[in-house]
Structure formats: C-alpha cells, structure tokens
Structure 1
C-alpha cells in the first residue's frame, strides 16, 4: 500500500468534518485560525521531518512514496498535518454540546 492511498481516508474525514462544521457559528474565524495553525505546523513538519529522516530515524521505501519531497520529507507527510489543522478543530466544534453564539 502506498502512502498516497493510506492518507485518503484521513483527508476525506477531515474534509467532511470541516464541511459539517460550516453549519456552526464562527466558521470563517475558525478557518482563519486553522489556516494560521496549518502554516505553522507545516513549517514545523518540514523542519523536523527532514531532521528525523536525515538522522536515519525514519526511512521511506521508494516504491511507497510519490517521489515528490520537500527536502528529504515526502509530500505525503504534510497531508497528515493538514488533517490535524482542519479536522481536529472541526471535530471539537461538532462534538461540543454548547453552541457558541
């Protein structure tokens, strides 16, 4: 199984949760906050993934990655960061009982 296939359910879940959370108040503000968080998390992912791969802590089989990389880090690693930046806040909003006004 390739990493591109492995990430698809996570991307789909994050997208669905984000779309469902659009029905709740303050969606625009949450999207701005999630985007700011995503930029910061993507930068941290780029730095620390490259450090871990460069140090030999992680090795990706070439047949399982797309070949597109930022430094040493395969682009697929960054998809998990996007899922976290958008999916986790959306899930939090959807699971909260109290609707914010």
Structure 2
C-alpha cells in the first residue's frame, strides 16, 4: 500500500466529518462565509510550517521514505503525501468543533 492511499483515507474521513457537520448546521452559509478567510490563513501557515520543518527533519535524517511507496512528487525533500495530514487536520478540526459546539437556545 502506498502512502498516497493511506493519506486518501484520512483526508476523505476528515472531509466527510466536516461535510456532515456543515450539513447538520442551520447556519452553514454564515459559517462558511465567516470561516473562509481564517481557514485559508490557517491552511497557508500550517502547510508552510509543514514544508519547513519536514524538510529539516528529512534533511537531518530523522525520517526516510521508501521510494516504492511514494508518488515521487516532492517539495524540496518532502514527498507530496506529507501534506495530507495537515490538510486532514484543517478539515477535521472545524468539523469536530461544529459537531461538539453547544446549541444556543
């Protein structure tokens, strides 16, 4: 199994949680409008930090990847698949927050 297939499972589950949470929310249009900019800023910050620190860790030899299990696409030293987990977090955290928030009366 390749890292891309494993990552796909996590991203799909996280996106499904967010979609279910938004689908159950009565104020989803307002939420999406209000969250669009903060989510985009968070995405840029998390993905840039992932690129910087994963490059450092791979460069220092702390992590290695089997060439047979990655897509071959890289950003510096990082396989493209490494960006899937932060992306899944960017979907999952707002979804869980929405599912667990208190309903105002």
Given the alignment of the two structures, is residue 33 of structure 1 paired with residue 34 of structure 2, yes or no?
no
Rg larger for: 2
> Tell me, what secondary structure is at the counterpart of 1:45?
helix
TM-score, with length taken from structure 1: 0.88
- Provide the aligned length of Structure 1 versus Structure 2: 100
* Residue 14 in structure 1 maps to residue 19 in structure 2: no
Equivalent-residue separation in structure 1 for 2:18 and 2:40 (angstroms): 12
1:17/1:100 CA distance change after superposition, 3 Å: farther
Q: Which runs of 4+ in 1 moved over 3 A?
A: none
Correspondence for 2:2: 2
Match of 1:99 in 2: 103
Considering only aligned residues, what root-mean-square deviation do their CA atoms show, in Å?
A: 1.7
**When you count helix as a share of all residues, which structure comes out higher?**
2
Please tell me whether the aligned partners of residues 55 and 78 of structure 2 are also in contact (alpha carbons under 8 angstroms).
yes
1:44 paired with 2:49, answer: yes
C-alpha separation in 2, matches of 1:64 and 1:28: 39
Does the alignment pair 1:81 with 2:86? Answer: yes
Gaps of 5+ in 1: none
- Shift, 1:7, TM fit: 0.8
| TM-score, normalised via structure 2 length | 0.85
Secondary structure of 1:27 counterpart: helix
Listed as ranges, the gaps of 5+ residues in structure 2 are none
Cα deviation, residue 59, structure 1? 0.4
